[in-house]
Amino acid sequence: MTLFTARHQPSAATTPNPAVAADLKVLSLPMDDSRVRPLLDELAVEYETRYADLFGSGSAAQELNKYPAHEFTAPDGAVLILQEQGASVAGGAFRRYGADTAEFKRIWTHSGHRRRGLARLVLAELEAHAAALGYTRVYLTTGPRQPEARGLYLNTGYEPHFDVEAAPETLPFLAFSKVLLP
């Protein structure tokens, strides 16, 4: 386990409520660590709830197990978890997508901790970690039934690779990319 401290200056774009930010720890963990599991379990429920009618029951488990856990370990990837008072409240992961491109996956905020800016902090931590590993670009996708994620990426400088005027349900997925600043 690697422990990071939130290294970002407080700003509306990257930091949650300053009163809460001091209590957050950023951990780099293996995908099979028990502190990652609560977030993945809730993410699976969310996927099943939003997409079961499109992809059938069990699709969440298939999606979450689509990539081997070793793809999310250094030197090509990482799993970062935000913990508050010992509880995992948000997190995300990345893996190698191309020679200089990281693919962000599993970005998630626990349902009891939303609307606090934690997803923005996760993105900022993932971006910093990916850049430290030499990546210069990020690629990610989200589903058409995740308007919160769509808004997050559009509002944090990610370039959409789809027609933003199109009805989300007409698209199979929403792809984004971003150039990482050195």
Q: What is the pLDDT of residue 10?
A: 33
CATH number, domain containing residue 46? 3.40.630.30
Q: Which tens digit of pLDDT belongs to each residue from 134-150?
A: 999 999 999 888 899 99
Confirm whether 120 is domain-assigned.
Answer: yes
Confirm whether 87 is domain-assigned.
Answer: yes
> In angstroms, rounded to a whole number, what is the distance separating the alpha carbons of residues 175 and 28?
25
Residue 13 has pLDDT above 80, yes or no: no
Q: Specify whether the backbone of 58 is left (phi greater than 0), alpha (psi in -120 to 50) or beta.
A: left
* Poorest-pLDDT segment among 18-22, 82-86, 116-120: 18-22
Tokens for 1, please give them. 């386990």
Confirm whether 176 is domain-assigned.
Answer: no
Counted domains in the chain: 1
Confirm whether 149 is domain-assigned.
Answer: no
Confirm whether 181 is domain-assigned.
Answer: no
> In angstroms, rounded to a whole number, what is the distance separating the alpha carbons of residues 113 and 49?
19
Q: How many CB atoms lie within 10 A of CB 62?
A: 11
Confirm whether 145 is domain-assigned.
Answer: no
Q: What is the pLDDT of residue 56?
A: 63
| E strand segments, 15-100 | 24-28, 78-84, 87-98
Residue 54 has pLDDT above 70, yes or no: no
Q: What is the pLDDT of residue 50?
A: 76
Residue 110 has pLDDT above 50, yes or no: yes
Tell the burial category of 103 from Cβ atoms under 10 Å away from its Cβ (0-12, 13-18, 19+). buried
| Mean pLDDT of the residues in the chain | 84
Q: Whose CA is closest to 14, among 94, 92, 89, 118? A: 118
- Contact by Cβ (8 Å): 113, 89: yes
Confirm whether 25 is domain-assigned.
Answer: yes
> Is residue 93 very low, low, confident or very high in pLDDT (cuts 50, 70, 90)?
very high
Structural domain for 94, as ranges:
2-135
Confirm whether 161 is domain-assigned.
Answer: no
Q: Whose CA is closest to 100, among 134, 75, 72, 73? A: 134
Q: Which tens digit of pLDDT belongs to each residue from 69-83?
A: 899 999 999 999 999
